[in-house]
């Protein structure tokens, strides 16, 4: 237990107010019964990282637009957000959320539809997308110093990393690939992201 001038660790909470665009994306998630949207803690981390970047920010696997909304909520002036979604109906619904924000473009397609928008200064993708597209693809989409944020990992303090009783070879690959400097960050007790910076 951590104690100090701000109280105990259990007392620490994030602000309750959400950016309006994030609220709209969460409303779409609820209406669609989409339960795998980015956690608020991950979203706040994304927003902080987006505020440190310029140029083109990307997302592979839009879902209901929650991740893209966090990126757009704090993207620097002059930056753009490109997000790709394979489900055409969902891509159209998310486009409506960003109808009044010309910085955001929702593309109907998979990761390959992002190729002609590269290089990205930040790219957000789910662990399943990262596994499907592969580390080489992500590396090719990022510019020098670009950051990949990989969501939906189960925290692991062991080395080699273990998941479901086996070595997590994908997580291990991100830590060992010399093109990236990678760190695992816990966003909640049961969830972590990998942040990998392209050399």
CA angle, 134 then 173 then 125, to 5°: 45
Instruction: Check if the beta carbon of residue 93 is closer than 8 Å to that of residue 157.
Output: no
39: CATH: 3.40.50.150
Domain assignment present for residue 172? The answer is: no
pTM over 0.85: yes
Domain assignment present for residue 8? The answer is: no
Domain assignment present for residue 1? The answer is: no
- The span from the CA of 125 to the CA of 147, in Å, is 11
How many domains is the chain partitioned into structurally? 1
Domain assignment present for residue 103? The answer is: yes
What domain range includes position 39? Answer: 18-153+185-192
pLDDT band at 128 (very low <50, low <70, confident <90, very high): confident
In this predicted model, what pLDDT tens digit does every residue of 129-172 receive, in sequence order?
A: 888 889 999 999 999 999 999 999 999 989 999 999 999 999 99
């Amino acid at each position: 237990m951590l104690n100090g001038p701000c109280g105990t660790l259990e007392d620490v909470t994030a602000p309750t107010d959400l950016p309006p665009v994030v609220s709209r994306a969460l409303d779409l998630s609820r209406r669609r019964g989409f339960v795998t949207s980015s956690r608020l803690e991950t979203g706040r981390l994304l927003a902080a990282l987006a505020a440190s970047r310029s140029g083109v920010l990307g997302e592979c696997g839009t879902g209901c637009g929650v991740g893209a909304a966090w990126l757009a909520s704090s993207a620097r002036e002059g930056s753009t957000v490109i997000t790709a979604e394979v489900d055409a109906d969902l891509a159209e619904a998310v486009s409506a959320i960003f109808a009044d924000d010309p910085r955001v473009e929702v593309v109907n397609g998979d990761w390959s539809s992002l190729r002609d928008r590269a290089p990205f200064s930040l790219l957000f993708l789910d662990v399943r997308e990262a596994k499907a597209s592969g580390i080489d693809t992500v590396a090719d989409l990022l510019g020098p110093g670009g950051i990949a944020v990989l969501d939906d990992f189960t925290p692991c303090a062991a080395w080699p990393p273990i998941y479901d009783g086996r070595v997590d070879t994908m997580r291990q690959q991100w830590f060992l690939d010399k093109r990236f400097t990678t760190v695992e960050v816990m966003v909640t007790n049961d969830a972590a992201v990998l942040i990998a910076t392209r050399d």
